[in-house]
Chains A and B, each alone.
Chain A
């Protein structure tokens, strides 16, 4: 076979990050450093109630304790220089004084940024019926379709707005799935989270459109600490989309978000992510550190939480969207495609805690490693002693493109109930020469053939994405494979 696949791969690895631009907007930022004053500042900027400030301070004390005892997690299969948490700017908000009523009032430069990303709010508003709560750095600047959602009783707004308008709901559910002391990064987030999204779907309501948030990291040297809280009341259904791109920076940026989902009886939450933050250059310099805690609780009977993610960006991804299957007959799903090229590292997977009877979970994880990319699947399936008839099926496949990359699988299966059925399977291989030969013999170019094989490899996951996202995800994968890969 020709040398071309490797040459193509190099091209892929050297591809410039397309979304690397910086929007020049005046911003309001706090001095770097982590202490009580900063937390109080964030809280007062947000006009938060006393209980929330107290909660943040509790989290901060715990985090400083963890920091002092050097308990930053080291078990994951990723390597990075030590982060100086005192050098990070914990608060930065684009300067905007008035609450906006319509998109026309939004800073035109901001809108242009979204255009470059291919997310035209206007267009989306007009054509696709997607309500977008766009987050630019830390403050939510534009929310669309809110009125239409309100008619159905659906609450969808920025986190800080929710704290002001629906304090009872926030107080009831905040930290109930991911407690402030859950882990190192969740603890940091609990202390300094700036904003995020909040959604509440009332009883029996099927959310008529996909709720969507676009995250952007824009300000140099700022960390981004989002907090998302999603509650689906009895019988409700919601599909939530989250997508991210970030501009090019030389220093590493930390992103430690927390997402909490709560599904009550018969509720369904579908949470989809396309993550395409700046992965760093071909020498592994720069890029985002994406240390995210995502967890959903299936509290109610017959509830369902489904995570779908396409991870193509970030220098380091550390992310395990999990499901706590408490309600009897509840269902958890995890579908993931992770692509690592250049010097990207990803340690991602899921945790499924089966607590209720007849709970079921499915895990499909597809990893693609190229260049010097390092890729790990790390997953836990835990069947508790009372989870009669629990069922899990996991499949984790890895595709290796190039001889400098790595793919690893670390599943943990813990079963304490004899009526449970748990299956795990994983494979690792490269694209077979016979597969390529077959395609080429049918008149496909090598590039097309590989693109087709990779798309087929990911198909099980991509088809879980909502239409709007599937297109973006495919084009993201396509871009990475462009010219390349063969």
Chain B
């Protein structure tokens, strides 16, 4: 049997065992898992013959015999979290250890402006229903994640609420010698005219191989604003798959900032549908590759109605023998007139052996629109390096400065100023790693 088929069988039996263990869960949850499992079974793991997975082989992940995440044997300390997930927003910190909510590490101040709950502890129904915002027919990993759904964060922002401090959700992988898989879930429902900022932080506490297969579902109500920052800084042996799916209501604003700093094989799928008029969407991304890393970003922006605006900026910095992929798809549906959509994907190749595949796409079925995209792949400007050297700055330092400048645009655009400042150092470390990562011989 081919590795992907074997893996499919293995995961299906894992999910069936999981379902049997959780026979006491609510009926809706059991049904959701069963339906998602059927969808995963239909699709199996994707191969590179599929257009959506053309540049990314998932075989390395499929070959690892993952076990489902179980609670950590050694307790996780608060200081370990603060160390890895810096800067920490202590007043609104929510920690998930191997996929499970950990109240002891979380700030449990009884908030009135926003309801943050663990999915397992949830006693009221979620509306729109969980799993309805992500298309599990198209995304095998989202289907698998939902089939194994255990715990997650449910954020409900009441009508008109203005949440001033960012909510910091840290998903910690403790690691064990037997590789573990977790399925973190984030659900955000921002009601009319509310406003919230959320930071989703993925960290590992050890160097063990792990799999994070997360799904985030976001509904942004009329006039509401949601800013979501995703920071992925897991260890160099981690596999990370994520599906972020957002639906925007009338005059809603949504921004997503996706920082990929770690992992071995990372695939981010992002889907935003502008469902009602006047919605606005910003998608920013920064991915930094080193070593043998593969980072694949797929975005889909669906302008379903008139008067929507969107802008995307995904920047890639690739060192060593790493590979970066960007595929951005913008669809402007018939009648979605007055749409303004821009998309840009500049990439920096630092070493011989690094590779970038960029595939920005525009599909436009309406005429009164302004749409554009751009993509570039290149190196640091020789003139700029020369200029800095004439100012007595060494060449390595000059390269570092310029690379930093390239990345800074995304960092500076983060919605939380404290985060921009706090990430300055981790980002510098990561850039140094990418710059010094050896490439292959020319």
A246-278 vs B: 1/0 string, CB under 8 Å?
000000000000000000000000000000000
Known contacts A75-B51, A418-B352: does B378 contact A409 (CB below 8 Å)? no
In the complex, chain B residues whose CB is within 8 Å of the CB of A423: 374-378
In the complex, chain A residues whose CB is within 8 Å of the CB of B352: 385, 417-419
Q: Which residue of B lies closest to A429 (CB)?
A: B370
Interface hits, B352-367 → A, CB 8 Å? 352-367
Asked if A388 is at the interface of the complex by the 8 Å CB criterion, the answer is yes
B323-355 vs A: 1/0 string, CB under 8 Å?
000000000001101000000000101111111
In the complex, chain B residues whose CB is within 8 Å of the CB of A407: 362, 364
Instruction: Name the distance in Å between B50's Cβ and chain A's nearest Cβ.
Output: 11
Asked if A183 is at the interface of the complex by the 8 Å CB criterion, the answer is no
User: Chain B interface secondary structure, helix, strand, loop or mixed?
Assistant: strand
A418-435 vs B: 1/0 string, CB under 8 Å?
111111111111100000
In the complex, chain A residues whose CB is within 8 Å of the CB of B367: 400-403, 405, 430
Q: Which residue of B lies closest to A380 (CB)?
A: B359
Chain B residues with a Cβ closer than 8 Å to the other chain, count: 38
Q: Are B357's CB and A414's CB within 8 A?
A: yes
B367-406 vs A: 1/0 string, CB under 8 Å?
1111111111111000000000000000000000000000
Instruction: Name the distance in Å between B212's Cβ and chain A's nearest Cβ.
Output: 28
Q: Are B349's CB and A424's CB within 8 A?
A: no
Instruction: Name the distance in Å between A365's Cβ and chain B's nearest Cβ.
Output: 13
Instruction: Name the distance in Å between A74's Cβ and chain B's nearest Cβ.
Output: 11
11 A-B pairs within 8 Å (CB atoms) are namely A388-B442, A403-B367, A411-B360, A411-B361, A411-B375, A422-B377, A424-B358, A424-B375, A426-B362, A427-B370, A428-B364
Q: How far is the CA of A179 from the CA of B358 in the complex (A)?
A: 28
Asked if B439 is at the interface of the complex by the 8 Å CB criterion, the answer is yes
Q: Which residue of B lies closest to A397 (CB)?
A: B372
Asked if A349 is at the interface of the complex by the 8 Å CB criterion, the answer is no
Known contacts A403-B337, A428-B364: does B373 contact A409 (CB below 8 Å)? yes
In the complex, chain A residues whose CB is within 8 Å of the CB of B354: 418
Known contacts A416-B355, A427-B371: does B362 contact A409 (CB below 8 Å)? yes
Q: Are B369's CB and A430's CB within 8 A?
A: yes
Q: How far is the CA of A404 from the CA of B374 in the complex (A)?
A: 25
Q: Are B366's CB and A408's CB within 8 A?
A: no
Select which of B335, B369, B378 is within 8 A of A400 by beta carbon: B369
Q: How far is the CA of A273 from the CA of B292 in the complex (A)?
A: 45
In the complex, chain A residues whose CB is within 8 Å of the CB of B349: 415, 417-418, 420
Q: Are A425's CB and B374's CB within 8 A?
A: yes
Chain A residues with a Cβ closer than 8 Å to the other chain, count: 37
Binding site for B on A (CB under 8 A): 75, 77, 383, 385, 388, 398, 400-430
Q: Are A429's CB and B379's CB within 8 A?
A: no
In the complex, chain B residues whose CB is within 8 Å of the CB of A406: 363-365
Q: Are A428's CB and B371's CB within 8 A?
A: yes
In the complex, chain B residues whose CB is within 8 Å of the CB of A429: 369-371
Q: How far is the CA of A425 from the CA of B342 in the complex (A)?
A: 11
Q: Which residue of B lies closest to A433 (CB)?
A: B368
Q: Are B372's CB and A426's CB within 8 A?
A: yes
In the complex, chain B residues whose CB is within 8 Å of the CB of A408: 361-364
In the complex, chain B residues whose CB is within 8 Å of the CB of A416: 355
Q: How far is the CA of A421 from the CA of B349 in the complex (A)?
A: 9
Q: Are B361's CB and A413's CB within 8 A?
A: no
Select which of A404, A414, A422 is within 8 A of B378 by beta carbon: A422
Q: Which residue of B lies closest to A375 (CB)?
A: B364
Known contacts A75-B51, A418-B350: does B357 contact A426 (CB below 8 Å)? no
In the complex, chain B residues whose CB is within 8 Å of the CB of A424: 358, 360, 373-376
Q: How far is the CA of A411 from the CA of B326 in the complex (A)?
A: 11
Q: How far is the CA of A429 from the CA of B370 in the complex (A)?
A: 5
Q: How far is the CA of A427 from the CA of B372 in the complex (A)?
A: 4
B102-121 vs A: 1/0 string, CB under 8 Å?
00000000000000000000
Q: Which 10 A-B pairs have the closest CB atoms?
A: A400-B367, A418-B349, A427-B372, A413-B358, A421-B378, A422-B377, A428-B371, A409-B362, A406-B365, A424-B375
Known contacts A418-B439, A419-B379, A422-B376: does B357 contact A412 (CB below 8 Å)? yes
Q: Which residue of A lies closest to B351 (CB)?
A: A418
Q: Which residue of A lies closest to B337 (CB)?
A: A403
Q: How far is the CA of A381 from the CA of B366 in the complex (A)?
A: 28
Q: How far is the CA of A388 from the CA of B364 in the complex (A)?
A: 36
Known contacts A406-B365, A423-B376, A430-B368: does B337 contact A412 (CB below 8 Å)? no
In the complex, chain A residues whose CB is within 8 Å of the CB of B378: 420-423
In the complex, chain B residues whose CB is within 8 Å of the CB of A414: 355-357
In the complex, chain B residues whose CB is within 8 Å of the CB of A383: 377
In the complex, chain B residues whose CB is within 8 Å of the CB of A427: 370-372
Interface hits, B50-70 → A, CB 8 Å? 51
Instruction: Name the distance in Å between A296's Cβ and chain B's nearest Cβ.
Output: 24
